[in-house]
């Protein structure tokens, strides 16, 4: 059994993930072994082998290749001339120097953009022009405002079209050498940069999948990469839509939990209100019992008084006091559960934990 076969077998038995721990030369060999396994051609076509260092050692995973990477992409046709340019492309054509490109590449760049926008709008996406007449400075090549945008499922993807530069060794002139010798602060540049025929598309906005930049290469011009760029826009739109739906579901779940917490808080509030009412009744009963004992003691004293106005007034007071005790005594009426008043927001707050009574 080869090393690759053994590794794949171990990964299958471990559920697709292995962590090799330890130290020394044996552990340090695993990155090269993973690289050899990738080159062996024995990894299933729908899988990819991942290897990297983790806290516990060297981690290896055999994971499924995303379906979008296995999809067969249809080429995006590029028009040979702009017979009916898109509105965004027409806005670029009306600029003195479209996209800040040299004339030698302007026509090709506009045809590439036309092809990309046409493919995007065929899928129901929308496009619009941005700042169409400028080339970003070198320090803002990745962050400048886009030349045009494509919006897929609510996700706007910005596009910058850049012209690559060829770098050559700078040969100092006699004048530069003389000025550098005369002035110490003058620095002669090491390289000269001239615009090339190569173009680069830089994408911004949304969640990247394949990449965020595509450029002409010796064996693969941008014309052959437009299908990947168009797919990238679609993937970013789909990711944004999934994220939007996830947020809606998370909001719904949060409201469900909040409503359940509010229902439970109302139950606890009602029970707390009944307990307070119960305690108040017990306190009222004890108070009425003490008052009744006092009235009984007064009655015993009054009964020893001689007849007359003072006794009559005392007996009148006893009658009033006895009636008052009867009114204050909760046992004078059959016991019943109290009516629960509608709680205010602040009444429920003690029973809600981290939730707000005003909403999720």
Task: Tell me the pLDDT of the chain (360 aa) as tens digits.
Answer: 788 888 888 888 899 999 998 878 888 888 998 999 999 888 888 899 999 999 889 999 999 999 999 899 999 999 999 999 999 999 999 999 999 999 999 999 999 999 999 999 999 999 999 999 898 888 888 889 999 999 999 999 999 999 999 888 888 888 888 888 888 888 888 888 889 999 999 999 999 999 999 999 999 999 999 999 999 999 999 999 999 999 999 999 999 999 999 999 999 999 999 999 999 999 999 999 999 999 999 999 999 999 999 999 999 999 999 999 999 999 989 999 999 999 999 999 999 999 999 999
pLDDT confidence of residue 188: 85
Dihedral sign from CA coordinates of 322, 327, 328, 330 = positive
Both 295 and 331 in one domain: the answer is: yes
Q: 3-class SS at 356?
A: strand
The answer to whether residue 158 sits within a structural domain is yes
The answer to whether residue 79 sits within a structural domain is no
Both 287 and 199 in one domain: the answer is: no
Both 213 and 108 in one domain: the answer is: yes
pLDDT confidence of residue 107: 96
- Residues of the domain holding 18: 3-65
The answer to whether residue 184 sits within a structural domain is yes
The answer to whether residue 77 sits within a structural domain is no
Describe the crossing of helices 30-39 and 3-13 by its angle, rounded to 10 degrees: 100
Both 240 and 114 in one domain: the answer is: yes
Both 230 and 136 in one domain: the answer is: yes
State how far the Cα of 356 lies from the Cα of 334, in Å rounded to an integer: 39
Long-range contacts from 264-272, C-beta under 8 angstroms, 24+ separation: 264/351, 265/348, 265/351, 265/352, 265/355, 265/357, 266/343, 266/348, 268/351, 269/340, 269/343, 269/347, 269/348, 269/351, 270/340, 272/351
Domain stop point among 188, 222, 244? 244
Both 267 and 329 in one domain: the answer is: yes
How buried is residue 104: exposed, middle or buried, by Cβ count under 10 Å (0-12/13-18/19+)? exposed
pLDDT confidence of residue 140: 86
Q: What is the pTM of this model?
A: 0.75
The answer to whether residue 235 sits within a structural domain is yes
The answer to whether residue 81 sits within a structural domain is no
State how far the Cα of 11 lies from the Cα of 49, in Å rounded to an integer: 10
Domain stop point among 244, 263, 286? 244
pLDDT confidence of residue 213: 97
Task: Give whole-number Cα distances, 175 to 171, 179, 180, in Å.
Answer: 12, 6, 9
The answer to whether residue 24 sits within a structural domain is yes
pLDDT confidence of residue 22: 82
Residue 278 main-chain phi, psi, to 5 deg: -60, -45
Both 122 and 215 in one domain: the answer is: yes
Domain stop point among 244, 262, 281? 244
State how far the Cα of 221 lies from the Cα of 186, in Å rounded to an integer: 40
Both 50 and 158 in one domain: the answer is: no
How many domains does the chain divide into?
Answer: 3
pLDDT confidence of residue 315: 92
Residue 188 main-chain phi, psi, to 5 deg: -80, 125
What torsion, rounded to 10 degrees, do the Cα atoms 256, 206, 121, 88 define? Answer: 130
State how far the Cα of 117 lies from the Cα of 159, in Å rounded to an integer: 11
Q: What is the CA radius of gyration of the chain?
A: 42
pLDDT confidence of residue 2: 83
pLDDT confidence of residue 44: 87
pLDDT confidence of residue 41: 87
pLDDT confidence of residue 146: 96
Both 258 and 199 in one domain: the answer is: no
Both 288 and 158 in one domain: the answer is: no
The answer to whether residue 236 sits within a structural domain is yes
Among residues 336, 327, 341, 179, the alpha carbon closest in space to that of 273 is found at: 341
Both 108 and 31 in one domain: the answer is: no
Residue 151: strand pairing partners = 126, 156
Both 142 and 120 in one domain: the answer is: yes
Is the separation of the CB atoms in 48 and 63 below 8 Å? yes
Q: 3-class SS at 329?
A: coil
Among residues 67, 75, 72, the alpha carbon closest in space to that of 225 is found at: 75
């Amino acid at each position: 059994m080869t090393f690759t076969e053994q590794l794949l077998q171990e990964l299958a038995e471990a559920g697709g993930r292995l962590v090799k721990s330890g130290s020394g030369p044996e552990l340090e060999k695993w990155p090269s072994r993973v690289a050899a396994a990738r080159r062996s051609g024995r990894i299933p076509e729908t899988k990819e082998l991942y290897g990297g260092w983790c806290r516990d050692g060297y981690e290896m995973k055999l994971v499924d290749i995303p379906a979008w990477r296995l999809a067969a992409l249809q080429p995006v046709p590029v028009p040979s001339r702009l017979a009916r340019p898109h509105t965004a492309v027409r806005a670029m054509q009306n600029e003195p120097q479209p996209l800040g490109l040299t004339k030698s590449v302007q026509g090709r760049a506009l045809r590439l953009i036309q092809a990309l926008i046409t493919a995007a709008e065929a899928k129901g996406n929308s496009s619009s022009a941005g700042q169409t007449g400028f080339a970003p400075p070198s320090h803002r090549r990745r962050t400048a405002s886009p030349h045009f945008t494509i919006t897929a499922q609510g996700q706007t993807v910005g596009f910058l079209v850049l012209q690559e530069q060829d770098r050559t060794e700078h040969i100092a002139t006699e004048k530069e050498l003389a000025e550098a010798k005369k002035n110490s602060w003058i620095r002669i540049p090491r390289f000269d940069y001239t615009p090339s025929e190569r173009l680069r598309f830089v994408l911004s906005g949304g969640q990247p999948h394949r990449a965020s930049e595509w450029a002409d290469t010796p064996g693969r011009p941008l014309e052959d990469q437009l299908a990947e760029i168009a797919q990238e826009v679609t993937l970013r739109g789909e990711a944004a839509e999934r994220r939007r739906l996830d947020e809606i579901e998370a909001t719904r779940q949060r409201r469900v939990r909040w409503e359940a917490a509010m229902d439970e808080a109302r139950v606890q509030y009602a029970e707390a209100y009944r307990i307070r009412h119960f305690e108040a009744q017990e306190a009222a009963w004890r108070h009425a019992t003490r008052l009744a004992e006092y009235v009984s003691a007064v009655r015993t004293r009054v009964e020893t008084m001689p007849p007359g106005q003072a006794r009559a007034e005392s007996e009148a007071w006893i009658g009033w006091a006895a009636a008052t005790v009867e009114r204050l005594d909760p046992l004078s009426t059959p016991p019943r559960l109290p009516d629960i008043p509608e709680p205010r927001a602040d009444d429920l707050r003690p029973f809600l934990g981290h939730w707000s009574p005003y909403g999720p």
